[in-house]
Amino acid sequence: MTTFAMSLSNANKNMDKHSKLTAIMLTAVTALSALSSSAAETGIITSTSSDGKTVVVNALNDYIIKVSNFMPGESVRESVSAVMEKQPFNGTVSTTGQNTTMTLPSGLSVTVDRNSAGVTFFNGDNRMLYDDGTRNSSQGMKTLSLIPVEGGIYYGAGERGHSLKLNGDTLVMYNRQNYGYTEGDPRINQMNICVPLFVSNTGYGILFDDYAAARLIMGDTIKYETESRKPVSYYFIYGKEGIADVTSQYTLLTGRQELPPFWSLGYITSKYGYKTQEETCGVIDTLKREGYPVDGIVLDLYWYGKETDMGRLEWNREQWGDHKKMLAGLKDKGVNTVIISQPYINKIGAIDNYNMLAEKGMLTKNVAGDINDVTTWVGEAGMFDVANPDTRRWLRERYRSLTNEGVGGWWGDLGEPEVHPETIVHHNGETAREYHNQYGNVWSSIIYDLFKDEYPDTRLMTLMRGGTAGLQRYSVFPWSTDVSRSWGGLQPQVKIMLNSGLSGLGYMSHDVGGFAIDEQNPTDPELYVRWLQLGVFSPILRTHAQKYAEPYKYPEYSQLLRDLIKMRYRWLPYNYTLAYENATKGYPLVRPVNFDGITGTPADTITDEFMWGSEVLVAPVLQQGAVNRNVYIPEGKWIDWNNPEVDYQGPAEFSYNAPLETIPLLIRNGAFIPQADYAMENTGDYNPAAYTILYFPRGEVKSRYVLFEDDRSSTSSLDRGEYALMTFTSDAADGKITIGVDLSGYYPGMPAQRDLSFVLPGICSKVSEVSVNGVTIPFEVTTKKDLKFSTKFFNGKPLKIEILAK
């Protein structure tokens, strides 16, 4: 080590051999003692190898370790992905020979080889990953190699639709739009949001701290090749209990998404595009007249005129005679309006903005400092350089003005960016290849920071289709862009939501019904029904297409479609609790079947099923004409939602009967599913004083479920502790079921009492008594063997419900 050499240079050259050897040994012991002592205090091991390479291993908390490796003369830039502050170090550090080992209370340990700068990660005594310390640089590419233990299955990497299992893939980290994609399309292994992250089912993840163009090669040796000009660090993220813990720690590191606007969990209608004020109001009026609940409408580019007006960012007064009145009128009906903007300023319809922005240096330039125009699908245009603080301030002011007029949410389209010439050099000195993936994050942050500063009590919804690691912290609701309206377009959506969710994008959704139509066959009613079924159990339910987007355009299935959208509203209590789990734990709403620690089973690679939270397994029908499908269930007992007299013992695979009106749903044994079982025109009709609680016990089972409540509007309810948690517990055994209900917490406006209607679907017809806190109450057993009873629940007065069998 260099430290040793410096110490030895001061040794007395006239010592005899024995004295010199003694001095070397004492100096080494002193240096190692100092190293261990310092690391034990800071949780940072810094070591320089025999070839001059420096490695820094920094424990940010008990689960996350940052590794930086660089040669003399190199520097590692500050983190571009992480926002988490380093936590106090609670571990231990020891040195044996050439190895220094840091052990953390979580069970994670890391050993640094001071000779080679190699780093090895262990789970207890089990090695998980080895970094041999080698860093290569050639032809503008820096390469980092990691050697995992055999047997792991890898997920994540952002928005990927080709596969859930990423082993053997070469994953390009450069955001790309793929218009009209379908299942099997080779383009969809590289989509709009690339995240340099992989998650292993063996309980860890790696995030490369980078946003430059790169490749992640998922072989026996995992290689990360980047065009970054500086050495790239990485974060080792430990998941003690499996990938759920990895996801939780990853979102802690890169920032968690705040609670969503409550209305965003309802139904949103969208099309390319509603062209006038009259058409927009007419769509909402028709939806309401036809009995569809609706909470939002999205306006595509026609709000500012026509395609070549892109970048005007002003309402077209001919098409929208009184847009302020329209926005207020829609809001009065419980409908929020979301409008689009793009990164480009067209040189025809937005020439005034173009000239002003060019004069003030806010457009992208080339290396010579000249404006670097781009060719978009609507013609020649300038491009906002969001790396320039002046550009960000100008855009912020436009967004502020439009928000003040009544706009309820924002849609950032084309933000990969879709067209981003490599000749561009951004204001911060980074080339297009270096800055490309980061563009969407910075663009999103403009809107996010605006709302934080000027609308601190308003929750934000931003639809954004480009970005990279940490995008979720800007209240972004991404979607899988311009998918083909076809069965092939429907089929990758589960994989996209799963990989995205494990990459922090917990609200990834899709254009329900399919966007890009075949003009010769523009509609497929069966496809629309199946897609809407998936949409009901997706983070955002938004229909969107070039034509025939709205459900009332399919009158042959009007009642079925209406019932599906109403189903979305009945599930609001459960879904809002999933939003709480996302905000506090980072869990995505759509989760792999093995999310909660099940590994080494077929659950590791299932691509057409998912968990909706922890209690519900969703197996959407994705094949044309199918009236049944195979369903895999993991270990345990699962109850059929559609026929609750039937249950299945897992692990098992079986054929599930699924005619067009049926979406296969399996409920975990012992689950509580809270429902809002009353009519709603929009989420404003939600009533936290009335719940229907579906409870599914089979055999002996103990369970626990926590339901989240707050005022559904405050941006600070979690920070201030202004929320309530209603806890349901159960113990079913020996002919007796005991249910407990308790509540903790408070928020302004919280109801003093709640009406709880319990339903135990398909349980049996042999119930002799139901009591609440020792008092017998009436109950009903239906012909479908559903047990039903109701009770009131007062704050501060827990319930003990006992159900006795005959």
Residues taking part in catalysis: 413, 416, 482
Interatomic CA distance for residues 115 and 723, integer angstroms? 53
Interatomic CA distance for residues 688 and 248, integer angstroms? 28
**Residue 146 CB-density burial (10 A; 0-12 exposed, 13-18 middle, 19+ buried):** buried
H/E run at residue 284: helix 277-289
Contact between residue 189 and residue 233 where contact means Cβ atoms under 8 Å apart? no
Contact between residue 490 and residue 622 where contact means Cβ atoms under 8 Å apart? yes
Contact between residue 615 and residue 484 where contact means Cβ atoms under 8 Å apart? no
Query: In angstroms, what CA-CA distances link 183 with 484, 497, 524, 614?
Result: 10, 14, 17, 27
Query: In angstroms, what CA-CA distances link 742 with 704, 754, 788?
Result: 11, 12, 20
Contact between residue 444 and residue 467 where contact means Cβ atoms under 8 Å apart? yes
Interatomic CA distance for residues 321 and 316, integer angstroms? 8
Query: In angstroms, what CA-CA distances link 48 with 9, 117, 550, 558, 744?
Result: 18, 7, 63, 69, 53
Task: Locate the DSSP E strands across 734-786.
Answer: 736-746, 753-760, 767-772, 775-776, 780-781
Cα angle vertex 14, ends 9, 17, to 5°? 90
Cross-strand pairs, 102: 93, 110
The percent helix, strand, coil of the chain (3-state, each to 5) is 25, 35, 40
Q: Which amino acid is at 762?
A: G
Contact between residue 580 and residue 717 where contact means Cβ atoms under 8 Å apart? no
Which DSSP category does 371 fall into? Answer: B
- The DSSP secondary structure of 535-553, one letter per residue, reads HHTSSSEEE--SSS-SGGG
Cα angle vertex 7, ends 4, 8, to 5°? 85
Strands 780-781 and 787-794: antiparallel
Which DSSP category does 459 fall into? Answer: -
H/E run at residue 171: strand 170-173
